[in-house]
Amino acid sequence: MINATKKWIFLKISGATLVPLMIWFILNFITIYDQGYFDLINFFTSPSSKFFFSLFIINAYFFSALSISEVFEDYIKKDQIKNVANRLLYASAVVIPLITIILISRL
């Protein structure tokens, strides 16, 4: 399978799985928006919320990295700059969700 086809399939799958996770996050965000600090901590300490929020963060960064890399491929002409930009993008798409999940798991 061609790399562009794989990327397109991953983009569609991650986008489709991001929709229900985003709905879950928005509904829960609405319920905890006006609550106090301890209610927010209680939300993020529940195992199901940790699991779904972790899936949401991983999927969102994966989807955004794939989308932004397409922009890099379309608009950056020099291959060296494009490769560096993609590597930094993919590294940040791994590091930032990992740090977020580690910090939430410590709650």
| Helix pair 3-32, 37-45: axis angle to 10 deg | 140
Which pLDDT belongs to residue 9? 92
One-letter amino acid identity for 37? Y
The number of folded domains in the chain is: 1
Which pLDDT belongs to residue 94? 93
Tokens coding 105:
């798991």
Cα distance between the two ends of the chain: 43
**Residue 53 contacts by C-beta under 8 Å, 6 or more apart in sequence?**
25, 44, 104
Range of the domain at 59: 3-105
Mean pLDDT by runs of 10 across the 107 residues of the chain is 86 95 94 88 90 94 93 92 94 94 87
How many whole angstroms separate alpha carbon 45 and alpha carbon 39? 10
The torsion defined by the Cα of 14, 20, 22 and 27, in degrees rounded to 10, comes to: -170
Which CATH number do you get for residue 18? Answer: 1.20.1300.10
How many whole angstroms separate alpha carbon 29 and alpha carbon 19? 15
